[in-house]
Amino acid sequence: MATIPSVTVYGPPMSTAVSRVLACLFEKNVAFHLLPVDMSKRQHKSPDFLKIQPFGQVPAFQDSDLTLFESRAICRYVCDKYSERGNKRLLGLGLLERASIEQWLEAESQSFNPPSSTLVFQLAFAPRMRLKQDPKAIDQAEAKLSGVLDVYERRLGESRFLAGEEFTLADLSHLPNTQYVIDASEKQPLGQVTAFQHENTTLLESRAVCRYISEKYPDQGNKNLFGRGTMERALVEQWLQAEVQTFDPPTSALIFQLAFAPHLKVQQDLDVIEQSEKRLLEVLNAYDKRLEESKYLAGDEFTLADLTHLPNAHHIVNSTDKGYLIKSKKNVNRWWEAISNRPSWKRVIEMRNEPPEKIA
Ligand SMILES: N[C@@H](CCC(=O)N[C@@H](CS)C(=O)NCC(=O)O)C(=O)O
């Protein structure tokens, strides 16, 4: 009969700190339960979770009566407690080996982790969370990490792994951040938001992806999406530009300030909020006039020009208190109701609410 694991890890495996613990448990061949914590629903801040992780972060860990937080402390515990299982050299054999491992574990936590965590957030998570990347933070973190890696390069000229000739917890602890940084740099060399691959084409920038899909598949699905003929295409392009140049800047600023800054514990900038609201009002007045003349922005058919407004308009209506700017304008509101009720957009919203990919 299979034994019931005494170990439980709480948190999503996409978290770097959770995956550090999971990698250690796999190395040590220790069976565990993984209990999901839905961070998008702020379950990590719930009173029950705070009882086992007082900082409201993942992972939290339980082994019979013991509860622990801090991923590196959890890994040390797993190696000590299950010293006879799996990889027995993970925390060294004897004091000298352990001292060297501890030294490089500290280097990871103190020197490698700060700049690499910034890069993980900026390059991998900000795009997923539809947050604007901060080029200055990326540059600074890259310069800092490069200095740290110069030291690693010298060290790894002397030994195969950081603490000596064996793979240890010191190396393992570097895996989560390194994996994200490498994956993100391969996919998005310019640090841009959307990466799309099809046959031999790799594209950055969501609107370029939408144009490509419309042109590549002109006879599939909605055939009006990019206009029929030069004139229609020109109008679609005009309103696509209006979205990028005039609608996106104030809506993105409001979404960041009102929806994301509080989650990120970033102080809101009241001037930016005020100016963006004023600007958005002006922009929507112009849209309202246009939408008095035609059903959709580029004419009487739904096109890419309307579609590209959906993500930010959705956030303004659903994640901020500025939805009235859209709802109070007769024609804009009628247009918003029409485009946001399209089955394609409803499906996108459903997908946002679906649970993260299941792990094996
Ligand atoms: N030093 C902690 C860091 C944990 C941590 O930063 N977890 C992140 C996910 S990787 C988190 O829970 N962030 C949410 C928050 O801080 O509110 C550890 O290694 O366990």
Give the position, in ligand 1's atom list, of the atom nearest the Cα of 59. 20
pLDDT of amino acid 360: 32
Determine contact, residues 278/270, Cβ cutoff 8 Å: no
Q: How many CB atoms lie within 10 A of CB 245?
A: 10
Expressed in angstroms and rounded, the spacing between residue 58 Cα and the centre of ligand 1 is 5
First to last CA, the chain: 21
pLDDT of residue 201: 65
Q: Determine the Cα–Cα distance for residues 119 and 115; give it in Å rounded to an integer.
A: 6
Per-residue pLDDT of 336-360, as tens digits, reads 999 999 999 999 998 877 765 443 3
Question: Hey, whose CA ends up nearest to atom 2 of ligand 1?
Answer: 70
* Mean pLDDT, residues 301-316 taken together: 96
**Residue with the nearest Cα to atom 11 of ligand 1?**
57
Indicate if ligand 1 lies below 6 Å from the C-beta of 177.
no
Render pLDDT for 180-224 as a digit per residue (tens, 0 to 9). 999 887 665 444 445 667 776 666 568 878 888 898 899 999 999
Q: What is the pLDDT of residue 37?
A: 93
Whether the predicted pLDDT of 99 surpasses 60: yes
Cβ(169)–Cβ(90) below 8 Å: yes
Q: What is the mean pLDDT of the chain?
A: 90
- Between the CA of 69 and the centroid of ligand 1 the distance, in Å, is 10
Which numbered atom of ligand 1 lies nearest the CA of 57? 12
Ligand 1 within 6 A of CB of 19:
no
Give which of 72, 94, 73 is closest to 83, Cα–Cα. 94
Q: Between 354 and 105, where is the model more confident?
A: 105
Greatest CA separation for the chain: 80
Percent of the chain with pLDDT over 70: 92
Helix axes 175-187, 16-27, angle to 10 degrees: 120
> Ligand 1 mean position to 112 CA, how many Å?
16
CB-CB contact of 33 with 84 (8 Å): no
State pTM to two decimals. 0.58
Q: Which of 105, 94, 122, 115 is nearest to 71 (CA)?
A: 105
Q: What is the pLDDT of residue 192?
A: 47
Cα separation, 255 vs 126, in Å, equals 13
Q: What angle do CA 24, 26, 32 make, to 5 degrees?
A: 95
Q: What does the pLDDT look like over 36-90, one tens digit per residue?
A: 999 989 999 999 999 998 899 999 999 999 999 999 989 999 999 999 999 999 9
Is it the case that residue 119 has pLDDT exceeding 90?
yes
Q: Whose CA is nearest to atom 16 of ligand 1?
A: 57
Q: How far apart are CA 184 and CA 342, in angstroms?
A: 32
26-30, 159-163, 356-360: which has the minimum mean pLDDT? 356-360
pLDDT of residue 183: 85
How far apart, in whole angstroms, are the C-alpha atoms of residue 71 and residue 17? Answer: 6
Report which secondary-structure segment, H or E, holds 290: helix 270-293
Spell 25-55 as b/e; 16+ CB within 10 A means b.
Answer: bebbebebebeebebeeebbeeeebeeebee
Give the mean pLDDT of 315-334.
97
CA 73 to chain centre: 26
At residue 105 the predicted structure's pLDDT band, cuts being 50, 70 and 90, is very high
**DSSP-assigned states of every residue in 27-72:** HTT--EEEE---GGGTGGGSHHHHHH-TTS-S-EEEETTEEEESHH
- Pick the residue with more confidence: 352 or 298? 298
pLDDT of 202 reads 61
> Residue 179 CB: number of other CB atoms within 10 A?
15
Q: How far apart are CA 77 and CA 21, in angstroms?
A: 10
- Any atom of ligand 1 within 6 Å of the Cβ of 173: no
Task: Find the mean pLDDT for residues 326-344.
Answer: 97
